[in-house]
Amino acid sequence: MNRPARIFTALGTALVMAWLLFSAQAQYGGRRFRRGGGRDGIPFEHLKEQEMMEKALDPAFTNDVFTFARLRFESEGYGRGRPWNDDTPNADLMVTFRLFQTTSLKIRPGVNVIDITTKDLADYPFVYMAGAGQAVLTDEEAAALRAYLLNGGFLMADDFWGDEQWEHFYEQVKQIFPNREPELMSLTNQIFHTVFDFKKQPQIPSAFYDSRFQSYDPGYHYERMNHDPHYYGIYDDKRRLMMLLCHNNHFGDGWEHEGDDETYFDLYSEPMGYPMIINILTYTMSH
């Protein structure tokens, strides 16, 4: 069994042991983040949380715990600078701390950014890609991801909207797997019911839109695929889910901005952002 698969098995056992999310009031707690400052790239408001996570680790096994690994990639033609870096560091720090709080997982603290190489991917059973609709993969990166996924790894692609970004990312997916097609998931798919039972597919808009009135980002072209959330899966020959494409969604904002606005937290972070990542991890680690 390869290393990602071994880690998945061990972490899956730990992950299913504890699930209780706090109430909205308990999680939000009137919290307001102080932006800026900090130490070693960690904002002030997260330092205590990071220390708690670090103290919980066994020094002999610091590399054998769950790591939220974010992929770094090149992009072009969109004028947004570094889309892979969207929502860092707060999204990564918040989602890992909430997993630490609400499950029995031991979590590696900090922001863990890796390149798309065979060497960097080897130790991470789960990797996350933000700004997926702007990624441009080289042939070497596509080959590294293909080998990683077929050997037990898992990729969650997030934060891309509309027809154009879907079509662009679809081209990258076909570089990775020329002979596999993304399969549209319905609400009956087990991933929506593994731990938390979703009555509709979750959709999280970017926090800077007026999300009280719509759950999607305006300004994109939705003529072909419409603005509903679309979840696509890429499976291996044994029907193991290797890639989850979260189109028309922005989970990173659901984690990053949970403390900025109580209504956004109540509508998206608590009922969708955190339950869905727990469902995703539980599903992938137990399959």
pLDDT at 23: 38
Q: What is the mean pLDDT of each run of 10 residues along the chain (287 residues)?
A: 48 45 39 50 85 92 91 76 87 96 91 96 96 96 98 97 97 98 98 97 92 88 97 97 98 94 92 97 88
pLDDT at 78: 53
Displacement of CA 212 from its chain's centroid (Å): 23
The strand pair at 154-160 and 241-247 is best described as parallel
In sequence order, what are the residues at sequence separation of 6 or more whose Cβ sits closer than 8 angstroms to the Cβ of residue 105? 11, 14, 15, 65, 66, 99
pLDDT at 37: 55
Domains of the chain: 3-285 (3.40.50.12140)
Residue 112 burial (CB count, 10 A): 15
Q: Hey, what amino acid is at 258?
A: E
pLDDT at 32: 38
pLDDT at 225: 95
The strand pair at 74-75 and 126-129 is best described as unpaired
pLDDT at 43: 84
Residue 277 burial (CB count, 10 A): 21
pLDDT at 25: 35
Residue 26 burial (CB count, 10 A): 9
Find residue 157's DSSP bridge partners: 129, 245
Cα separations in angstroms, 151 against 5, 27, 122: 8, 37, 9
Check if the beta carbon of residue 209 is closer than 8 Å to that of residue 250.
no
Helix, coil or strand: residue 62: coil
